[in-house]
Amino acid sequence: MVVAGPSLGLLSEVQGNILQAYGTHYRAVNHLILAVADPTAARRALARMVDGDRSTPDVTSGERPPREAGFRWCLNIGFTYPGLMALGVPRTSLDSFPPEFVEGMNARAARLGDVGESAPVNWVSGLARPEQVHLIVTVHGWCRSDVESITQQVLGAERGRAFRLVSSEPLDGDALFDERTGLRQVHFGYADGISQPRFVGIHDPEDYEDDLPLLPIGVVLLGYPSATPHVSWQVPSPDVLGRNGAFNAFRVLGQDVPGFEAFLAATTVSAGSVGAAGSVGAAPDVDVELAAAKVCGRWRNGAPLSLAPTRAEADAFDLTRLNDFDYIDDDPDGLKCPIGAHIRRNNPRGAHIVQRSANRTRALIRRGVPYGPVWDPSDPNSFALPRGLLGNFICGSLAAQFEAVQYDWINMGFQDPRITGTNDPMVGANYPGTSCFSWPRDGAQTVVMRGFTRFVFTRGGAYTFLPSIPAIRWIAARGA
Ligand code: HEM
């Protein structure tokens, strides 16, 4: 990581989970959903959490990469709009936040695909009642006991008067790793944490083997030009509150792993047949792993289809090249990586898309840790156990980035007429009657998968603001 010029100061002020990936070094995480119990005690507790004394639970800045820092734990805080109100942030400041943050995630459910079983009324851990969700404190630890000890200190702040734990059940997760590659994994068995946006002044292209473009820091931090020419996101006022902050879509995403595996298997057995739960035009040379790769855009070991179209190439893949690809020149029609595949939908890279200049402007920083046990197909009791991803999607504008991706690209396929009307096959709000995912093949019939259901359900969520460390001091000083 390059830390030069203005970034040096910037990183010490920015919350660490925005620009540092903790997941690789810190295996355990907990998200505490808190209500402000006593505003004065809560502000005092927050003031202590930014005093730089690591003997108490302190907010971790982005100044030092976690590996170098050697900290056993990291702590970060997201504030909801009701939380800022409860802490006494003045009306003029509250009014300067963007409408989607003010309304909150629950109110925006329909556009996010959070309907039916995924509707906010069914959300867990107190997240169904947004008025009582004030702070989300995220604690990462080397191991579970580190997380537990910091959690107890947060709950005991100001002798337990400051905050009230809203979550009825814990939102804790543990990193999964692929033993062969050492890469982090998600519950569907794919490597994750591979592709993240990189920023001018923060990342050094010399550190990477590929040519991923550097984006302006304003894609994620408030107070700087965004990636859209002449556009900067509105900075909440006063400047000390808004600058160097970011917005976060926290999501508890349940995953139906047995259902997903059955869907992949159905593609291979129904070769050539037409059926509600099968596929049209599937071929005998299609196997479960190829179907899995087409759905995601990467093989489960992380190798991108764009560079490794066959299983043999994926098995022998050079892991330094995991991001060394684009779609524009060598795969415009999705013959290698389908246009509707998860990674291509969510980051079209240089491909031609309907929204033209939006290729890089909707970039999201993804921080996610799996929760629940790995599915064991030999154990019938493992089938129904809750499992999924505790995801954080961090950006400068929830409406222009997170919601635009979730609505336009994941669930509508507006980016390319060839996929419009279809949803992301892995994480979209699919229904058996309408779902469709197709992958054209060079010199062979297009494989069309139909009749599948939803595999990722929203179990909870909240929009939070991740203020800079000076901004937390400012919030803590209200009412003083
Ligand atoms: C349980 C739900 C999800 C699972 C299991 C999942 C899984 C994955 C996997 C395996 C990758 C490839 C690894 C990588 O490139 O780093 C990936 C990439 C990505 N995902 Fe997801 N994802 C989920 C939800 C979402 C959601 C809700 C969004 C957007 C709101 C999203 C956005 C992205 C983006 C932007 C990439 C990187 C694409 C690239 O830069 O090439 N994911 N995801």
**Model pLDDT for residues 114-164, shown as the tens digit of each residue:** 999 999 999 999 999 999 999 999 999 999 999 999 999 999 999 999 999
* Residues facing 391 on adjacent strands: 251, 368
pLDDT band at 281 (very low <50, low <70, confident <90, very high): very low
195 C-beta closer than 6 A to ligand 1: yes
Amino acid 284: pLDDT: 62
| 292 CB within 6 A, ligand 1 | no
Q: What is the position in ligand 1's atom list of the atom closest to the CA of 456?
A: 1
Out of 89-103, 277-291, 393-407, pick the least confident: 277-291
Closest CA to 181 of 22, 295, 322: 322
Please tell me the distance between residue 195's alpha carbon and the centre of ligand 1 in angstroms.
9
pLDDT averaged over every residue in the chain: 91
Q: What pLDDT is stored for residue 7 in this prediction?
A: 54
Q: Does residue 458 line the site of ligand 1, with CB under 6 A? A: no
The DSSP secondary-structure symbol of 274 reads -
The pLDDT, as a whole number, for residue 85 is 98
Contact of 245 with 221, CB cutoff 8 Å:
yes
| pLDDT given for residue 169 in this prediction | 86
> How far, in Å, from the CA of 479 to the mean position of ligand 1?
41
Across the range 52-67, mean pLDDT stands at 83
- Averaged pLDDT, 156-173: 92
- Distance between CA atoms of 17 and 250, rounded to whole angstroms? 13
What CA–CA distance (Å, rounded) separates 185 from 179? 10
Share of the chain above pLDDT 70, in %: 94
Closest CA to 137 of 48, 28, 31, 37: 31
Confidence bin at 276 (pLDDT 50/70/90): very low
**In ligand 1, which atom is closest to the CA atom of 343?**
38
- Whether the bond between 238 and the residue before it is cis, its omega within 30 degrees of 0, is yes
Question: Shortest CA distance to 469 belongs to which of 56, 61, 85?
Answer: 61
Separation of 207 CA from ligand 1 center, angstroms?
23
- Rg for the chain, CA atoms, rounded: 22
- Determine which residue's CA is closest to atom 23 belonging to ligand 1: 427
> Cβ(342) to ligand 1 under 6 A?
yes
Hey, how many other C-beta atoms are within 10 angstroms of the C-beta on 335? 15
* Helix/strand/coil percentages in the chain, nearest 5: 30, 20, 50
- 221 and 51 in contact (C-beta within 8 Å)? no
Question: Of ligand 1's atoms, which has the minimum distance to the CA of residue 253?
Answer: 1
For atom 33 of ligand 1, the residue with the nearest CA is 346
159 CB neighbour count, 10 Å cutoff: 8
477 CA to centre of own chain: 31
Task: Find out whether the beta carbon of 20 lies less than 6 Å from any atom of ligand 1.
Answer: no
Q: What is the pLDDT of residue 180?
A: 85
pLDDT interval class at 181 (50, 70, 90): confident
Q: Return the DSSP state at 224.
A: S
**Nearest atom in ligand 1 to 186's CA:** 5
* Position 274 pLDDT exceeds 50: no
Are 76 and 464 in contact by the 8 Å Cβ rule? The answer is: no
390 Cα: distance to centroid of ligand 1 (angstroms) = 12
Place of tokens 């920083």: 365
Structure tokens at 18: 């925005």
Calculate helix-pair angle for 469-476, 39-48, nearest 10 degrees.
150
Q: How far is the CA of 366 from the centre of ligand 1 (A)?
A: 8
In this model, does residue 271 exceed pLDDT 50? Answer: no
- Over residues 319-357, the pLDDT tens digits come to 999 999 999 988 999 999 999 999 999 999 999 999 888
**In this prediction, what percent of the chain has a pLDDT beyond 90?**
79
Instruction: State yes or no: pLDDT of 98 exceeds 50.
Output: yes
Choose among 474, 404, 394: nearest CA to 138: 394
CA distance 170 to 168: 7
pTM for the whole thing? 0.95
* H or E stretch covering 436: strand 436-441
Ligand 1 contact via 253 beta carbon (within 6 Å): yes
Name residue 387's amino acid. Answer: R
Average pLDDT over residues 411-439: 95
CA atoms of 363 and 198, how far apart (whole Å): 10
Q: How far is the CA of 347 from the centre of ligand 1 (A)?
A: 9
Atom of ligand 1 nearest to the CA of 197: 40
70: confidence class by pLDDT, cuts 50, 70, 90 = confident
Rounded to the nearest angstrom, the distance between the alpha carbon of 317 and the centre of ligand 1 is 20
Instruction: Tell me the pLDDT band of 384, cut-offs 50, 70 and 90.
Output: confident
**pLDDT over threshold 60, residue 74:** yes
pLDDT at residue 283, as a whole number: 58
Choice between 153 and 281, residue whose per-residue pLDDT is larger: 153
**With a 6 A CB cut-off, is 427 part of the ligand 1 pocket?**
yes
Element (H, E) at 240: helix 239-242
Which residues on adjacent β-strands are paired with residue 214? 198
Is the C-beta atom of 252 inside 6 A of ligand 1? no
Residue count (the chain): 480
Mean pLDDT of 5-13: 68
Task: Please state, in angstroms and as integers, the Cα–Cα distance from residue 168 to each residue in 126, 160, 172, following that order.
Answer: 6, 17, 12
Taking residues 306-316, report their average pLDDT: 96
